[in-house]
Chains A and B, each alone.
Chain A
Amino acid sequence: MKLVVTFSRKAGKKPIIAQVVRDTGVLINVERALIDSSEGEALIDIPDESCAIVKERLADLGAAVRVLEDIITLDESRCVDCGACISICPQEVFSFDKDWKLSMDEKKCVLCGRCIEICPHRALSHKGEG
């Protein structure tokens, strides 16, 4: 399961994610992070069963947490199954099925946006995201 964690760093540079790993024992995979001097946002991946405990501990430490679901969508009326997205995706979200139709494993997506930018047919977009 993927969580978007946002936190302020104004109160000091606390190692929030490291703290949660130590406290809960859950191994957290940081897939994307943007942190500057005042705030940070990280996209983390955790086992589904540990979701509650990780969310709770992150909230205790002052971070805002939301679950990321179905973030990339394919407009079938625009897609021609060319496959331009396949090799440029760092997470290997896209592949061809046996009939050369494009298939997506949305769960692997980390919302880097590269496929949205390069799709020749503008068939990919974020769902429910800005």
Chain B
Amino acid sequence: MKKTIDLIRERIRDGNARVVTAEEMPAIVAELGEEGALREVDVVTTGTFGAMCSSGAFLNFGHADPPIKMEKVWLNDVEAYGGIAAVDAYIGATQKSATREESYGGAHVIEDFIAGKTVELRALSTGTDCYPRRTITTDLLLENLNQATMVNPRNGYQRYNAASNSTDRSLHTYMGLLLPNCGNITYSGSGLLNPLANDPHFRMIGGGVAAFLGGAPGMVIGEGTQHSPAGGFGTLMVTAEMKAMSREYIRAATMTGYGVTLYMGLGIPIPILDIEGVRATAIRDEDIVVDVVDYGIPARSRPSLRKVSYAELKSGMVELNGEEVRTSSLSSFRKAREIAGVVKTWVEEGNLSLVLPTRAIDSLKSAMPLRETVTGPRVLDIMDRKVIAIREDEEIRAAAQKLLKGETNHLPVIGASGTLVGIVTTYDISKAVVSPGRATLVRDIMKKKVITTTPEEAVDIAVRKLEQYNISALPVIDREKRVIGMLTAMNLGKLFGRWLK
């Protein structure tokens, strides 16, 4: 059996269409079977509400008198992109305020506009014959703008990998606070309610399809940026008018230590035309599996700690390395459910018209990494190859002499097997001299926990270690833990000239 979109539209018009949310669908299919569910259900609605950084809006301010070509534009001190026509700008959600840093950003400007608050526009221009004015400052309400069209390049991830952290220090990430030693797991997405999880082959979701966005009726434009459906990570580009949005379904947020983001509500109705559509929308949380990714590894390909389903994540507790670890959702399932409910009402009342995609979305492609034509500096490019080290069984006095003679502040300490076992600094030695105890040998005063780097490590990663641990030198070690160089704050000067021009 197959149904047509026209039949479903007719049923909606007649008021006897059966519209259900994606959360209700698994039970319906279990009860009626696939054929039964196909006969019974006409539309399945979806919803999600979570952090979607790749969001923003095109704004048209109208012309001033005398007119200005706004080249640099700020809204409440948040820079908007002004490199388009004279009084158009794009405000991006993650742009930070020039004055308030991460506590206020583009997302907050968007939320303030929607909440009916005044936003200050400030713009600069070099002045032209047709646009002589050079500066402008004015207070605006959303209703004063000709258009405020939200166009979000990447929303509605099909699913998203969960996050944890195997290092011994807390990490502030876009996946929230990750406690040390895998102390928690965070995740995002509404699982079985996620729009794309219910149409993984992009049969019913595509360009031109109606969508709920931030409380407004909107539309799917097409595939989102970084769309990668081959691995189950499809995305959507979506649009809607900000004037019809509600603060209930769009909210600015700050991921502490990371930056500003925008929580977006997105919902899409999926007409059920065939058995495949029934099967796709019968998806359960148990069926949606993601990796728990270790954000402690600062590389593009972060290792997976284990596979986990949304059902496990939503249970609040996941086993990791033999321990029960608590989970935190970063998106709101309550809101996602509410949105699927609103979309259901809109479809039933005929306020969201159902159409087939006018522009199909590729369901097989994979996102590519960045092609890098210039490799950034690595530790081996700038490290000190002359290593002044000391053995752990030497006297503290010998260490002091080496520090003086070597004009250095850090001595890596070498053990009997020739490998790194500790580090002593001028500070450690001064301390030993000021309060002499029983310590006589280097091993008595050395720090045993040494933060190190490797010759192949990117300098930016090594610099991050210097900052995080508030230290000024890193021993460079090979695979056998032998010290082959030192990277100190002084070496960073070598970056100028060769890499930073």
Contacts and interface: CB of A to CB of B under 8 A. Distances in A.
Interface of A: 80-88, 92, 95-96, 99-101, 114, 117-118, 120-122
A87 B326 contact: yes
21 contacts: A80-B251, A81-B332, A82-B263, A83-B328, A84-B177, A84-B186, A84-B329, A85-B328, A86-B316, A86-B329, A87-B184, A88-B176, A92-B326, A100-B332, A100-B333, A101-B334, A117-B256, A118-B176, A120-B176, A120-B263, A122-B254
Interface in B133-184: 176-177, 179, 184
B179 A88 contact: yes
Contacts of B186: 84, 87
Contacts of A122: 254
B396 interface: no
Given A82-B329, A120-B255, A88 B184 contact: yes
B185 interface: yes
Contact of B253 (A87, A96, A120): A120
B74 to A, nearest CB: 23
B316 A82 contact: no
A100 B190 CA distance: 12
Nearest to A94: B328
Contacts of B251: 80, 121
A95 B316 CA distance: 9
Interface residues of B, number: 29
B125 to A, nearest CB: 35
A32 B397 CA distance: 42
A86 B230 CA distance: 33
Interface in B193-237: none
A85 B331 CA distance: 12
B86 interface: no
A102 to B, nearest CB: 8
A99 B326 contact: no
Given A80-B251, A86-B326, A114-B177, 19 more contacts: A80-B332, A81-B334, A84-B186, A84-B328, A84-B330, A85-B328, A86-B329, A87-B184, A87-B325, A87-B327, A88-B176, A88-B177, A95-B316, A96-B316, A100-B332, A101-B334, A118-B256, A120-B255, A121-B253
Contacts of A80: 49, 251, 263, 332, 335
Contacts of B179: 87-88
A87 B187 CA distance: 11
A118 B329 contact: no
Identify which of A81, A99, A117, A122 gathers the most chain B CB atoms within 10 Å of its CB. A81
A78 B261 CA distance: 15
B51 interface: yes
Contacts of B9: none
Contacts of A92: 326
Interface of B: 49-51, 176-177, 179, 184-186, 251, 253-256, 261, 263, 316, 325-335, 337
Contacts of A99: 334
Contact of B330 (A83, A95, A114, A117): A83
A112 B337 CA distance: 32
Contacts of B177: 84, 88, 114, 118
Contacts of A121: 251, 253, 263
A37 B331 CA distance: 45
A87 B176 CA distance: 10
Identify which of A82, A85, A117, A118 gathers the most chain B CB atoms within 10 Å of its CB. A82
Nearest to B261: A120
A82 to B, nearest CB: 5
A27 B337 CA distance: 46
A118 B254 CA distance: 8
B172 to A, nearest CB: 8
Contacts of A117: 256
4 nearest interchain CB pairs? Answer: A87-B184, A87-B328, A120-B253, A100-B334
Given A114-B177, A118-B177, A82 B256 contact: no
Identify which of A86, A95, A99 gathers the most chain B CB atoms within 10 Å of its CB. A86
Nearest to A95: B316
Nearest to A102: B334
Identify which of A85, A92, A118 gathers the most chain B CB atoms within 10 Å of its CB. A118
B330 A82 contact: yes
Given A120-B51, A122-B254, A84 B316 contact: no
